Structure 1
Amino acid sequence: MNQYTLAGAAVFAAALAAFAFTRTPAPTAPTEPNATPADGAAMVTVTLPDTLSPEATMGKRAFNAVCADCHGENAAGRMGIAPPLIHKIYEPSHHGDMAFQMAAANGVRAHHWKFGDMPPQPDVTRADVISIIAYIREVQRANGIN
């Protein structure tokens, strides 16, 4: 074979290999068929502070006893059940501490989320809510919500 035929064949083979390489799809990560969290799943990712104040520690216990069934572990919300309290909507400038007191005492009509109304929590005292608020606010700050 003459050298031009050999060079032409090499160029053709290289071009064919380059074409095949660019046509092969890159591997992709498997995707979930349903990106929406399942009912009851946490709605947001929550970062906990390294430590909690004594008041917030009591609030966490009260929250876990009374609020977590609906609002989720660490107030991350529960899809289809209740909203996350570690969310910008519940920052102090929008829902002040008194809003939490009123929610526990009187319940809340649905207005930001489509979960339905929150019933009053008659077994929760004002002191319990003060501790719960301390817990929520400290966790909010750990998540950049001031």
Structure 2
Amino acid sequence: MNKKNLATVTIVAAAVAAYFFRENAPGDHPGSAQADPPRGAAIVQVAMPATLSETARMGQRAFDAKCASCHGADAAGQKGVAPPLIHKIYEPGHHADMSFLMAAQRGVRSHHWPFGDMPPVEGVTDADVKMIVRYIREVQQVNGIF
């Protein structure tokens, strides 16, 4: 390849690379998504069921009282705070219902997410957790988790 062709190829490659990086870099250009949502922003979008069973409705109230401050509204998680529970990681085949009970009672060491360890949940009963799990499972199902 002669010097003229090499220079042309180099210039074209540099232009393509510059265009790619400009279009894919976070920023304020039109069509750009916010690159880094603020702390506390929902991590996932959650579709809610049209109706919940009575047990799940009670679980939703318990979740809102004991869990939502960390795991967010509708269990969507909060950036920089806690993970979403409406996520494939928490499907029954990977995190059985008992794992939620154990996490509430004993806390849990961080193992899937970079949020740190979860402490035990004060003032939540086994019955509360069972209703919370029913709520989470019904919402997961609507969101195609299982």
For normalisation by structure 2, the TM-score amounts to 0.78
Can you list the C-alpha shifts for 1:33-64, whole angstroms capped at 9, x where unaligned?
A: x4222100000000001100000000000000
CA RMSD of aligned residues (A): 1.1
User: Structure 2: how far apart are the matches of 1:43 and 1:133?
Assistant: 20
2:126 paired residue number: 126
1:94 aligns with 2:94: yes
User: Structure 1: how far apart are the matches of 2:100 and 2:112?
Assistant: 15
Alignment length, in residue pairs?
118
User: Structure 2: how far apart are the matches of 1:101 and 1:145?
Assistant: 20
1:81 paired residue number: 81
Rg larger in structure: 1
User: Structure 2: how far apart are the matches of 1:128 and 1:61?
Assistant: 10
- Give the fraction of aligned pairs with identical amino acids, expressed as a percent: 62
Structure 1 spans left out of the alignment, 5+ residues: 1-27
User: Structure 2: how far apart are the matches of 1:119 and 1:91?
Assistant: 21
Kindly provide the amino acid, as one letter, of the partner of residue 68 in structure 2.
A
For normalisation by structure 1, the TM-score amounts to 0.78
Structure 2 spans left out of the alignment, 5+ residues: 1-28
1:49 aligns with 2:49: yes
1:61 aligns with 2:44: no
User: Structure 2: how far apart are the matches of 1:119 and 1:55?
Assistant: 25
